[in-house]
Amino acid sequence: MSRHTICKTSEVEVGLIKPVTIGRSPIILARLPSGEIRAVGGYCPHQAADLKYGCISGVTNGDTPNELTFDHAGEVLRCPWHGFEYSLVSGDPLVPAPANTKGCLRFYEVAIEGDNVIVIM
Amino acid sequence: MPLIDTDVHESFSGVRDLVPYLPEPYKSWIDGGGWRGFSQPFCYTTPGRGNRADVQNPDGSASVSDYGVMRAQLLDYHHHDYAVLTGYFYPTALKLQYGLASAMAAAYNDYVAEHWLAKDKRFLGSIQINARDPEAAAREIDRMASHPQIKQVMLAVVDDIAYGHPMYRPIFAAAERNNLSVAFHHTVFAQGPYGMGLHYMERHCLIPIALMPQVISLIVNGVFDSFPNLRFMILEGGFSWLPHVMWRLDREFRQGRVEVPWIKKLPSQHCRERLRLSTQPTEDITPDQWGKLIDLMGTDELLVFSTDYPHFDFDNPNVAIPRALSDDTREKIFWKNAAKFYELDIPASAVPSKAAE
Ligand code: FES
């Protein structure tokens, strides 16, 4: 396990993806509306798209066709290629992943020290 | 391992790019803004809209037509040996003004020859035509066929053409006499039997259902038999349906040959001999399911790899075809089947060194 000081906490904003590289590993940082910061492995578990080109979204929902609700803004990461949705809260895909793929996002431990974001990997 | 990508979409920034290549009066019509080009009748819902969201210019704006971006993200990044350019500007989709549509097909072919094919020897080209004007389409095929990178004629799948109809014969005759194959690709107007559906996801699921009838139409109406040297490529239309279509055609032929005696081989034999299907989108099936599907097809020589770059549903060659398949099958899917289909040489020296990767 090594600790990497990545950036200042103010650089990680809700709704935005902050791409960083630790060694040769691409990571993306994102802030949840709760204030928590996520460090996520930079490749999509489906077909390995570079997630820094993805977007932070919310959850569309609805029980009646053509009536959409939208909430949990800032809690979902959508892949830049096929658009699979992943919860930034749990790391799980919103739709169960195909049998032959890893399925969920890879989270790295994050520590906040003062106003520094530390990723432990 | 060598890589032949059978479905790569070059583009232009808009129909005005065709102005230098158009004759009058069409040149003035397009230059004057008389038509802005096709627009899809739906809204894309993925982060990059119709494209991968990472297909960007250096300033972060979406790239619509840039050889440099394609070269960096696709050809060099994945070590392509060949990429078959398939366009996505299909003049057949223009339902009226067929003179204009035929002129735009020719202009687009000239545009692609200059702005894409000339830039990279790895590119292979498709001749765009207006199928609604079959004689003009045949002349355009004859005109473009001598270009050394041109390998096929593109037949756009729209909502009102099944290409087995006798009126399209001049197109197949021109393709065959020029030793070109024909390829079928959906358009933003392709439909299922009850229309386009009510949602983008529905429309996208219906695409294979727009391609299956083309295979049925071509075989039942004798195109395979009339043009015994012609080869047929189904692009981006799915492939797991082929066993069903072959079984159904064979069964129907046994009970209904009396009506269609011009079919001289079992339809499944026609398919196995001269029909190929591109793999993207691979639908996330498991290695076990791949194996079963290939068994049901009766051969692993029908599938050819494609990425569909730069579109959002791109297949990554490092992931899309499972490594659990045999090396022999993977080699066939990634390049051997396409090399045979398009009669391509892969430099012999490239094969062992790349196969060792
Ligand atoms: S690569 Fe991310 S959803 Fe497919």
Predicted confidence at residue B356, as pLDDT, reads: 42
Contact: A82, B312; criterion CB under 8 Å: yes
Note whether A119 and A108 are within 8 A (CB).
yes
Does some domain include residue B151?
yes
Contact: A49, B52; criterion CB under 8 Å: yes
Q: CB within 8 A of B202, min separation 6: which ones?
A: B196
Q: Is the dihedral of CA B281, B285, B291, B295 positive or negative?
A: negative
Contact: A48, B46; criterion CB under 8 Å: no
Does some domain include residue B352?
no
Average model confidence (pLDDT) across chain B: 95
* Model confidence at B211: pLDDT above 70: yes
Residue A67 is given by DSSP the state -
State the distance from the centre of ligand 1 to the C-alpha of A3, rounded, in angstroms.
29
Give how many domains chain A has, as a whole number: 1
CB contact A78 to B (< 8 Å): yes
CA–CA dist B86, B124 (Å, integer): 9
Q: What CATH number is associated with residue B227?
A: 3.20.20.140
Return the best residue to mutate from A28, A55, A79, A102 for the ligand 1 pocket (most ligand atoms within 8 A of CB).
A79
Predicted confidence at residue A101, as pLDDT, reads: 82
Region of B51 please: left (phi>0), alpha (psi -120 to 50) or beta: beta
User: Which residues in chain B touch residue A98, judged by CB atoms under 8 angstroms apart?
Assistant: 284, 286
For ligand 1, whether the C-beta of A43 sits within 6 Å is no
Q: A93 is in which domain, residue-wise? A: 3-120
Question: Which of B103, B77, B101, B59 lies closest to B8, judged by CA?
Answer: B77
Tell me the per-residue pLDDT of B166-209, one tens digit each, with 9 for 90 and over.
Answer: 999 999 999 999 999 999 999 999 999 999 999 999 999 999 99
Q: What CATH number is associated with residue A87?
A: 2.102.10.10
Q: B178 is in which domain, residue-wise? A: 4-344
Instruction: Tell me whether strands A116-120 and A107-113 are parallel, antiparallel or unpaired.
Output: antiparallel
Q: Return the residue matching tokens 């047929």.
A: B232
Predicted confidence at residue B354, as pLDDT, reads: 45
Predicted confidence at residue B357, as pLDDT, reads: 43
Does some domain include residue B356?
no
Extract the tokens encoding B157.
């799948």
Tell me the per-residue pLDDT of A65-105, one tens digit each, with 9 for 90 and over.
Answer: 999 999 999 999 999 999 999 999 999 999 999 988 889 99
Tell me the per-residue pLDDT of B9-52, one tens digit each, with 9 for 90 and over.
Answer: 999 999 999 999 999 999 999 999 999 999 999 999 999 999 99
Percent residues over pLDDT 90 in chain B? 94
For ligand 1, whether the C-beta of A53 sits within 6 Å is no
Does some domain include residue B354?
no
E strands present in B213-295: 232-234, 275-278
Give how many domains chain B has, as a whole number: 1
Contact: A54, B318; criterion CB under 8 Å: no
Percent residues over pLDDT 70 in chain B? 97
Predicted confidence at residue A49, as pLDDT, reads: 98
For ligand 1, whether the C-beta of A117 sits within 6 Å is no
Q: CB within 8 A of A106, min separation 6: which ones?
A: A40, A41, A45, A91
Region of B21 please: left (phi>0), alpha (psi -120 to 50) or beta: alpha
* The model scores a pTM over 0.90: yes
State the distance from the centre of ligand 1 to the C-alpha of A80, rounded, in angstroms.
7
Tell me the per-residue pLDDT of B215-259, one tens digit each, with 9 for 90 and over.
Answer: 999 999 999 999 999 999 999 999 999 999 999 999 999 999 999
Extract the tokens encoding B132.
């609604």
